[in-house]
């Protein structure tokens, strides 16, 4: 038996190894965060407010998936189906954040008030404190596209990947439900 598996082998592998789907999900979410952090730390692309919001679903999935990897054998196919459904929901929320961000980048709608400069609404600041805060606040506008490939921004790619992860999670959920029935 080789490492390669066909699309028909995956449902069987999911049944035989209950930790496989949670581990794949954890790895996929971790890879997305690693990519985002690489663009930030290595590529020098500072995230805007909406970019940071797009990371939260991946953190949530990592936490849920880590617990599920540990408990996969105890929760059975119904529990794994629920895990996959929860992941589908979280990934779809991530797709919503990414889709909204893509719309802001394309000027289809306005972004959040926090897009473009931080919170400087504290009326108790002195002029000197305000100047210090202004100078220390990096201005990363949500509508700017600092990187794109084939005309698609990072938010656009995140939208597409989140949709794929949502669909894959829904597929896994139905596979686990069939096993539980």
What confidence tens digit (pLDDT) does each residue in 63-73 have?
999 999 999 88
Distance between CA atoms of 136 and 132, rounded to whole angstroms? 6
Find the mean pLDDT for residues 2-11. Answer: 56
pLDDT digit string, tens, across residues 10-57: 666 766 788 889 999 999 999 999 999 999 889 888 888 889 999 999
pLDDT of residue 179: 79
Lowest mean pLDDT among 74-83, 103-112, 163-172: 103-112
CA dihedral (92, 96, 97, 98) positive or negative: positive
Q: All domains of the chain, ordered by start, with CATH?
A: 11-112+124-180 (1.20.1550)
| Strands, E assignment, the chain | 148-149, 152-153
For residue 44, give every residue at least 6 positions away whose Cβ sits within 8 Å of its Cβ, in sequence order, or none: none
pLDDT digit string, tens, across residues 56-102: 999 999 999 999 999 988 888 899 999 999 999 999 999 999 999 99
Number of H helices, E strands in the chain: 5, 2
Find the mean pLDDT for residues 126-147. Answer: 72
pLDDT of residue 76: 85
């Amino acid at each position: 038996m080789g490492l390669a598996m066909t699309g028909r082998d995956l449902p069987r592998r999911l049944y035989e190894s209950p930790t496989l789907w949670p581990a794949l999900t954890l790895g996929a979410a971790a890879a997305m965060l690693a990519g985002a952090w690489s663009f930030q730390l290595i590529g020098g692309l500072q995230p805007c407010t909406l970019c940071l919001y797009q990371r939260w679903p991946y953190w949530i999935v990592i936490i849920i998936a880590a617990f599920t990897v540990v408990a996969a054998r105890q929760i059975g196919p119904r529990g794994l189906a629920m895990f996959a459904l929860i992941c589908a929901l979280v990934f779809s929320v991530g797709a919503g954040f990414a889709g909204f961000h893509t719309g802001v980048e394309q000027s289809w709608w306005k972004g959040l008030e926090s897009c473009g400069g931080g919170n400087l609404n504290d009326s108790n600041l002195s002029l000197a404190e305000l100047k210090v805060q202004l100078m220390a606040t990096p201005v990363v506008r949500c509508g700017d596209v600092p990187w794109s490939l084939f005309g698609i921004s990072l938010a656009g790619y995140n939208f597409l990947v989140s949709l794929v992860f949502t669909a894959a999670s829904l597929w896994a959920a139905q596979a686990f439900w069939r096993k539980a029935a």
